[in-house]
Amino acid sequence: MKKTKLLFGLGILAVAGIVLVAADHIDAPGTTNNTADVADFYGFESPSNDANTVFIVDLQTNVLPDLAYGTFDEDVLTEINIDITGDLIEDMVIQALPRGDTMYFFGPAAPTATGLNGDVLVNSPLGKVVISADEAVTATTDAGVSLFAGPRQDAFFFDFGQFNKVIGGEAPEGFLPAGEATDTFDGANTMSLVVEIPNAMLGEPDAMTSLNVVGVPVYKTWVTTNRKQ
Ligand SMILES: [Ca+2]
Ligand SMILES: [Ca+2]
C-alpha cells in the first residue's frame, strides 16, 4: 500500500450536537484562497432521517461570484474527526480527497494516527461523487451515505463591518437587527463537502461526559485540512 505522508494541517474546533456551528472565516495569509482554508463546519441530525447525521464542511469562504467555479486542491486532504468517547481525541475519521472531477471519501474508520498526522485511509473507501459546479450532483452509496462536493452559496450570515465597529468600541448600539445588518457574505460562495451518514456507521457516543453540555449523546467533531508535503 502506498502511503501518502501528510505533515501540515490547520483546522478549527467544532462540536456537533443537535445543531451546532463553528466558523472561522478568513484565516491567516498563506491559508486563504485555497481549499485548505476551513471556513465553516456544520453538524446536525438529518431533517429527513433522525437516524442520520449530516456534516457540512465549507472551505475557502471568499470564493466570490466571479470565482464561483473554484477547484478543490488535490494536495489537500480534508478530515472530519469524530470523538465518541468524550476525550476530544478522534476515534474515527471521514476523509475527502479530490482527483480530477471526482471527490473521493474514506472512512469512517480509526485513523492511523491522531491529531494532524495519519494516512489516507485508502483501504476504507466510503464513496465518491462528481464535483459539480453547475448543478447539485449527489451520490448515495449502497450503505445509505449521501455525498456532495462543489461550490455552494455561503450560508453564513455575518456583518463584518459592524463586528469591527463593536470590537473597536465604536458601536455602543452593538450588533444591528436583521433588517439593518449587512451580510458580508451575501452572494459569496464556498467550496462545500457534504456527508450524510447513518449514525450506525459512526457508533454510539458516550451519553454523558464532562464535556457534554446538552445532556444527550453527541458526537464531538472537528475538521482539519492537511496539505501534502
Ligand atoms: Ca476519543
Ligand atoms: Ca485527525
- 173 Cα–ligand 2 center, Å: 41
Vertex 11: Cα angle to 228 and 227 (nearest 5):
5
- 206 Cα–ligand 1 center, Å: 10
C-alpha cell of 154?
A: 455561503
pTM, entire model: 0.80
SS3 128: strand
Please report whether residue 156 resides in a domain. Answer: yes
- 176 Cα–ligand 2 center, Å: 38
The H or E element containing residue 150 is strand 146-153
Please report whether residue 146 resides in a domain. Answer: yes
Domain with 68 in it:
6-228
Q: What is the distance between the alpha carbons of residues 217 and 115, in angstroms, rounded to a whole number?
A: 23
* Ligand 2 ion local residues (Cβ < 5 A): 81
Please report whether residue 1 resides in a domain. Answer: no
- 90 Cα–ligand 1 center, Å: 5
Cβ atoms within 10 Å, residue 69: 12
What are the Cα distances from residue 92, in Å, to 59, 153, 178, 201, 219?
21, 29, 39, 10, 11
Query: Average pLDDT over the chain, rounded to whole?
Result: 82
Please report whether residue 155 resides in a domain. Answer: yes
The length of the chain is 229
Please, which pLDDT band fits residue 3 given cuts at 50, 70 and 90? very low
Please report whether residue 20 resides in a domain. Answer: yes
pLDDT tens digits, 115-143? 988 899 999 999 999 998 778 899 999 99
Ligand approaching nearest to the C-alpha of 83: 1
Please report whether residue 166 resides in a domain. Answer: yes
- What's the total number of domains in the chain? 1
